[in-house]
Amino acid sequence: MRILSIGFIVAGIILLALGVASSDSFSSNVSEVVNDAPSDKTLWLLVGGGLLTLAGIGGLFRSRGKSA
């Protein structure tokens, strides 16, 4: 379970980094001007990355409690 949790954290951080990079892209800037919101891709990357990271951290705490 610990390896899976670490994998979730790593994947979440990668998605968050891609989301931040995507928020600076030309298409996201155009979407912000037209819709007054970032692009859907940016939002999915940021939300997905945040959820995966939180799931990984939660899994680490859960597995730590079982092994102690």
pTM of the entire predicted model: 0.80
The tens digit of pLDDT for each residue in 5-17 reads 999 999 999 999 9
- Tally Cβ neighbours within 10 Å of residue 61: 10
Q: What is the rounded distance in angstroms from the CA atom of residue 56 to the CA atom of residue 7?
A: 7
8 Å CB contact between 57 and 6:
no
The closest of 46, 18, 42 to 29, measured between CA atoms, is 42
Residue 66: predicted pLDDT: 65
E strand or H helix at 24, and its extent?
Answer: none
The tens digit of pLDDT for each residue in 22-63 reads 888 787 788 778 888 778 888 999 999 999 999 999 999 987
Residue 55: predicted pLDDT: 96
**Cα 68–chain centre separation:** 29
Residue 36: predicted pLDDT: 82
